[in-house]
Amino acid sequence: MNYLDNLKKAAQKLKEADAILVGAGAGLSTAAGLVYDGDEWKNRFADFIDKYHFPNLYYGGFGPFDSEEEMWAYWSRFISMERYEPGPLPLYQKLKELLLSKDYFVLTTNVDHCFQKAGFDKKHLFYTQGDYGLFQCSVPCHEITYDNHDQIMAMLEKQKSMQIPSELLPKCPICGKSMVLNLRSDNHFVEDQGWHDAEERYEMFLADNYEDKNIVYLELGVGDNTPAIIRYPFQRLASRNPKASYIVINLARFNPPLSIEDRSIFLQGDLNKTIQDLLIEIQK
C-alpha cells in the first residue's frame, strides 16, 4: 500500500479512536529541528572540536574532559542550546493539535522538554529517561531532583577558556558529592516523586484503555536504541486488543510483527510533513 493510501487509513483510525497513546523517540525532536551537528554546533563548540575532535554534540557529552570545570563548560552550552533556548517547536504544536480532541497520553524517551514548551499538559506526559533541566546527586544519596536553570545559565555566562569557575560546580545539598544530570545512563538514575506520579498516570491510562477500547498506538521517530521502552510494549499491548491499531511514522523502514500486521500502518517519511498531512486528512 502506498503513502497516500496509508495516510488515509491512519487518519481514519485516529478520527475513530477512543484514545491515543503516543510513543515519542529522538526522531521526533530531530525532525522538529533539534540537531546535534551542523553550523551552529561548529560555531558554539569550535574550541572543544579543535581540542577533542568531537564529531557532534551528542558524542561530546561522553568526552574525556580534563576537569569537571571543563566538562560543565561543555554541558552548560549543550543544555542551553538543546533545552533552554529553543521555544515551542512547530512540529510539537502540530502534534498537540492532532491529539487535542482525544483522550491521549505521551510516553517519551526524549529529555528536551519540548512537549511542555508546546503547551502539553504534564499530566499527559511520562518522561521515562529524565530531563536535561534537572540535577540529581551522583551517589545518589536521596531520590530528589533539582531544577538547574539558574546554575546552568551562570556556568554559561561565567565560563572562560573552556572552564567554569570552580564555585559553580554542582554539589549535592545533602552529602556534598557531585551532582549530575538526571539522565538514565546507569543504575544511579533518580526516579523522583514526579517521575513516579507520571508513571502512575501512565499505568492508569493503560488500565482504562488498552483491553477493550478502540485505541491507537502511535509511534513517532523511535529508533533501535531503547525498543524495550516504547516499541516492544506498544506491540504487545496492540496484540492483546483486537480493536487496537498500531501506527508507525519513521524515516527508517519498519516491518510490523506478523501478529498485528493487519492492524499496523507504516508511514515512511519526514515527521513534519506526515503530521501535517494527517492533520489535513483528518479535517476533511
Pick from 197, 205, 184: nearest CA to 109: 184
Q: Which three cell numbers stand for residue 115?
A: 512537549
Pick from 104, 114, 89: nearest CA to 18: 104
For 95, the domain range is 3-33+88-129+191-282
Q: Please write the tens of the pLDDT for every residue from 176-209.
A: 999 999 999 899 999 999 999 999 999 999 998 7
Q: Are residues 139 and 239 in the same domain?
A: no
Q: What is the DSSP string of 113-135?
A: -HHHHTT--GGGEEETTEEEEEE
Q: Are residues 123 and 234 in the same domain?
A: yes
pTM: 0.95
Q: Has residue 113 been placed in a domain?
A: yes
Q: Are residues 123 and 92 in the same domain?
A: yes
Residue 128 has pLDDT above 80, yes or no: yes
Q: How confident is the model at residue 1 (pLDDT cuts 50, 70, 90)?
A: low
Q: Has residue 38 been placed in a domain?
A: no
The CATH number given to whatever domain includes residue 146 is 3.30.1600
Q: Please write the tens of the pLDDT for every residue from 215-250.
A: 999 999 998 888 899 999 999 999 999 999 999 999
CA distance 194 to 73: 28
Q: Please write the tens of the pLDDT for every residue from 31-77.
A: 999 998 999 999 999 999 999 999 999 888 888 999 999 999 999 99
Q: Are residues 145 and 258 in the same domain?
A: no
CA distance 94 to 91: 5
Residue 63's pLDDT is 85
Q: Are residues 95 and 106 in the same domain?
A: yes
Q: Has residue 53 been placed in a domain?
A: no
Chosen domain end from 165, 183, 201? 183
Residue 146's pLDDT is 98
The CATH number given to whatever domain includes residue 242 is 3.40.50.1220
Q: How confident is the model at residue 102 (pLDDT cuts 50, 70, 90)?
A: very high
Q: Are residues 104 and 175 in the same domain?
A: no
Q: Has residue 54 been placed in a domain?
A: no
Range name among 56-60, 122-126, 127-131, 195-199 with the lowest pLDDT average = 56-60
CA gyration radius, the chain: 20
Count of structural domains, the chain: 2
Q: Which residue blocks in the chain are alpha helix, DSSP H? A: 3-16, 26-32, 39-44, 46-52, 57-60, 68-79, 90-99, 114-117, 149-158, 193-209, 231-240, 271-282
Q: Are residues 102 and 231 in the same domain?
A: yes
Q: Has residue 258 been placed in a domain?
A: yes
Residue 12 has pLDDT above 70, yes or no: yes
Give the sheet arrangement for strand 103-108, strand by strand. 125-127, 103-108, 19-24, 215-220, 245-250, 264-268
CA distance 155 to 105: 35
Are the C-beta atoms of residues 92 and 118 closer than 8 Å to each other? yes
Residue 210 has pLDDT above 80, yes or no: no
Q: Please write the tens of the pLDDT for every residue from 252-264.
A: 888 899 999 999 9
Mean residue pLDDT across the chain: 95
Q: Has residue 175 been placed in a domain?
A: yes
Residue 244's pLDDT is 96
Residue 211 has pLDDT above 80, yes or no: no
Residue 79's pLDDT is 97
The CA–CA distances, whole Å, from 139 to 62, 66, 69, 174 equal 19, 21, 19, 11
Q: Are residues 17 and 156 in the same domain?
A: no
Q: Are residues 75 and 114 in the same domain?
A: no
Q: Residue 129: phi, psi to the nearest 5?
A: -105, 5
Q: Are residues 160 and 222 in the same domain?
A: no
Q: 108 forms bridges with which residues in the sheet? A: 24, 127
Q: Has residue 105 been placed in a domain?
A: yes
Q: Are residues 217 and 276 in the same domain?
A: yes
Residue 209's pLDDT is 72
Residue 8 has pLDDT above 80, yes or no: yes
Q: Are residues 168 and 122 in the same domain?
A: no
